C-alpha cells in the first residue's frame, strides 16, 4: 500500500502528520515518491484563516486529480471546523472530524501497538515535539479554541523518551510546541495527575528536557508574554547554550482599544514592560512576534500605535497577518470592517518597518561567533533564528560555530 501525506498550517499540524507517518510505516505502508500515484492520500488542513481553508480545498482537488482511484482522507482543523466544505467535493473518501481519528484509523488498519511518539521528522533537520493540545483563552478573532478546546498535556516520560530518540537519531534541534504551549500542565493539575507526571508547568518540563542525553539545542515555540515565568527566564539564562535565546511572544496590536476588542489578556503597557525586561536580561535576545492588521474598527491612530510599539521593542522578526473573519468567532460579527486596500497598505508599511529592524538586528552579529544548524551544506539557522550562508561546506543536520563577517540584508555571511 502506497501513501502520501500533505500538511497545511502550524507546527502542531506538522507533528501530527509525522505521527501518522510513523504509524503507517509500522503497518508496512510505503511512502510514494513525488510524482508517483498513491493508494491513499492524506491532507492535514488548517483553519486559522479563510485563505488557509481555501488553500486546503484547492489542494485536495489537485490531489484527487493526480491520484485517480486513491482513497483521499481529509483531517485537521479545517475538517473539524466545517466538514461540509469537503464533503461536497467529489473524490474525497472521508473527512475526519474526531481529534483522535489518527489513532483509531491506525488501529482499524491493523496496527496493534500505537506509537508513543515519533522517531524522525521527514525532510527536516529540526524536529517538532508536540507536548500539549487545546486552548481556552478565547481571543475574539480565533477559531482554534472551537476546534481544539480540550486541554491535553502529554506525559513527561513520553516526551523525554521521544526527545531522546530524536536526538539519538541525529536531530540537533528540538522544538517544543503546542496549541497553547504555556498551558502545559494545566490539565494535569486539574485532574490531580501531577505527581504521576512529574511536571507542573512548562518550566518544569524544560528543566527535565535539557537534561536528556544528546547533542541538541532546545527551542520554544509561541508563548504568551504573561507565561514567560521567572523560573523559565532563569533556566534560559543559566543554560544559554542548550536553550535557544529566542522567544516568540504574540503582540497582535499596540492599541489598547484594539486589544480589548480582541480579548487579549495584556495591555500594551504590560506587554512592553515584560518584553523590555527580557531584552535587558539577555544578550541580543531574538524577540519575535505576531501582529494582526486590519482588525475591525482599527483606526489610523490605533495602527500607528502598533508601529510605534514595534519600533520601540526592535523585534528581530514580525509575522504580519491580515485580519481574516472566522465564522463562529465573536469578531466575525463586528462592524466597521477595514477595506482590503487600506489593510494591504498598512501591511506594506509595517513590513518595511519590520524588515529594517531585522536587518539592523542581523548587523549586530558581525564579528560574532554564532551556533548554526546546517540545513544544506552551505546554509543554516542560528540559535536566534537568523539565516546563515557560508562559502565553505558543512555537514547537514549538524551544529557548528561560525564567525560572521558581514550581512546581506537580513542574512548572515560567515565562516
Q: Is the pLDDT of residue 11 over 60?
A: yes
Q: Is the pLDDT of residue 198 over 70?
A: no
pLDDT value, residue 398: 96
Contact 164, 211 (CB under 8 A): no
DSSP codes, 158-190? HHHHHHHHHHHTT--EEEEEETTGGGTTHHHHH
Is the domain spanning 248-364 CATH 3.30.470.20? The answer is: no
Averaged pLDDT, 143-157 = 92
Closest Cα to residue 372, out of 16, 126, 166? 126
The CATH classification of domain 119-244, taken from the options 3.30.200.20, 3.30.750.210, 3.30.390.30, 1.10.1510.10: 3.30.750.210
Q: What is the CATH architecture assignment of 2-108?
A: 3-Layer(aba) Sandwich (3.40)
Contact 173, 219 (CB under 8 A): yes
237-274 pLDDT, tens digit each: 999 999 999 999 999 999 999 999 999 999 999 999 99
Give dist(CA 386, CA 403) in Å, integer. Answer: 13
46-75 pLDDT, tens digit each: 999 999 999 999 999 999 999 999 999 999
pLDDT interval class at 149 (50, 70, 90): confident
Averaged pLDDT, 298-307 = 98
Closest Cα to residue 148, out of 130, 129, 121, 161? 130
- Sign, CA dihedral 166-168-169-172, equals positive
Helix (H) or strand (E) holding 349: helix 340-363
321-336 pLDDT, tens digit each: 999 999 999 999 999 9
pLDDT value, residue 42: 97
Q: Is the pLDDT of residue 282 over 90?
A: yes
Predicted TM-score (pTM) of the model is 0.95
Tell me the Ramachandran region of residue 185: left when phi exceeds 0, alpha when psi lies from -120 to 50, beta otherwise: left
* Residues β-bridged to residue 44: 7, 75
pLDDT value, residue 184: 95
Averaged pLDDT, 177-196 = 83
69-96 pLDDT, tens digit each: 999 999 999 999 999 999 999 999 999 9
pLDDT value, residue 195: 53
pLDDT interval class at 193 (50, 70, 90): low
Q: Is the pLDDT of residue 287 over 90?
A: yes
- CA 409 centroid distance within chain: 25
- CA 243 centroid distance within chain: 17
Domain 119-244 matches domain 248-364 at the CATH topology level: yes
pLDDT value, residue 266: 97
The domain locations on the chain are 2-108, 119-244, 248-364, 369-414
Averaged pLDDT, 193-214 = 84
Give dist(CA 254, CA 268) in Å, integer. Answer: 6
Amino acid at each position: 500500500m502506497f501513501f502520501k501525506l500533505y500538511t497545511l498550517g502550524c507546527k502542531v499540524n506538522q507533528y501530527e502528520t509525522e505521527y501518522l507517518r510513523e504509524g503507517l510505516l509500522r503497518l508496512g505502508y510505503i511512502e510514494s515518491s513525488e510524482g508517483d500515484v498513491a493508494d491513499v492520500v492524506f491532507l492535514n488542513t488548517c483553519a486559522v484563516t479563510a485563505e488557509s481553508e481555501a488553500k486546503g480545498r484547492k489542494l485536495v482537488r489537485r490531489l484527487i486529480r493526480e491520484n485517480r482511484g486513491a482513497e483521499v482522507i481529509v483531517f485537521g482543523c479545517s475538517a473539524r471546523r466545517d466538514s461540509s466544505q469537503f464533503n461536497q467535493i467529489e473524490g474525497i473518501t472521508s473527512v475526519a472530524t474526531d481529534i483522535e481519528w489518527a489513532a483509531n484509523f491506525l488501529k482499524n488498519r491493523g496496527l496493534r501497538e500505537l506509537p508513543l511518539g515519533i522517531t524522525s521528522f521527514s525532510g527536516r533537520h529540526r524536529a517538532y515535539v508536540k507536548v500539549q493540545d487545546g486552548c481556552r483563552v478565547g481571543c475574539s478573532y480565533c477559531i482554534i479554541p472551537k476546534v481544539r478546546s480540550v486541554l491535553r498535556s502529554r506525559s513527561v516520560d513520553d516526551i523525554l523518551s521521544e526527545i531522546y530518540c530524536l536526538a539519538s537519531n541525529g536531530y540537533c534541534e528540538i522544538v517544543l510546541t503546542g496549541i497553547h504551549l504555556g498551558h502545559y500542565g494545566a490539565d494535569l493539575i486539574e485532574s490531580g495527575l501531577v505527581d504521576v507526571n512529574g511536571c507542573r508547568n512548562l518550566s518544569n518540563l524544560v528543566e527535565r528536557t535539557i537534561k536528556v542525553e544528546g547533542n541538541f539545542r532546545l527551542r520554544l515555540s509561541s508563548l504568551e508574554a504573561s507565561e514567560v515565568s521567572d523560573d523559565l527566564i532563569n533556566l534560559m539564562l543559566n543554560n544559554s547554550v542548550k536553550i535557544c535565546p529566542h522567544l516568540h511572544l504574540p503582540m497582535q496590536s499596540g492599541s489598547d482599544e484594539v486589544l480589548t476588542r480582541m480579548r487579549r489578556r495584556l495591555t500594551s503597557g504590560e506587554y512592553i514592560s515584560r518584553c523590555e525586561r527580557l531584552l535587558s536580561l539577555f544578550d541580543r535576545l531574538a524577540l519575535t512576534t505576531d501582529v494582526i492588521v486590519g482588525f475591525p474598527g482599527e483606526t489610523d491612530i490605533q495602527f500607528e500605535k502598533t508601529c510605534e510599539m514595534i519600533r520601540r521593542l526592535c523585534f528581530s522578526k514580525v509575522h504580519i497577518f491580515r485580519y481574516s473573519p472566522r465564522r463562529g468567532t465573536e469578531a466575525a460579527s463586528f462592524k466597521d470592517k477595514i477595506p482590503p486596500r487600506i489593510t494591504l497598505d498598512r501591511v506594506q508599511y509595517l513590513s518595511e518597518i519590520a524588515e529594517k529592524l531585522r536587518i539592523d538586528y542581523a548587523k549586530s552579529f558581525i564579528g560574532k561567533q554564532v551556533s548554526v544548524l546546517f540545513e544544506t551544506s552551505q546554509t543554516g539557522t542560528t540559535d536566534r533564528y537568523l539565516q546563515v550562508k557560508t562559502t565553505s561546506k558543512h555537514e547537514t543536520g549538524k551544529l557548528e560555530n561560525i564567525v560572521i563577517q558581514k550581512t546581506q540584508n537580513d542574512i548572515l555571511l560567515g565562516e
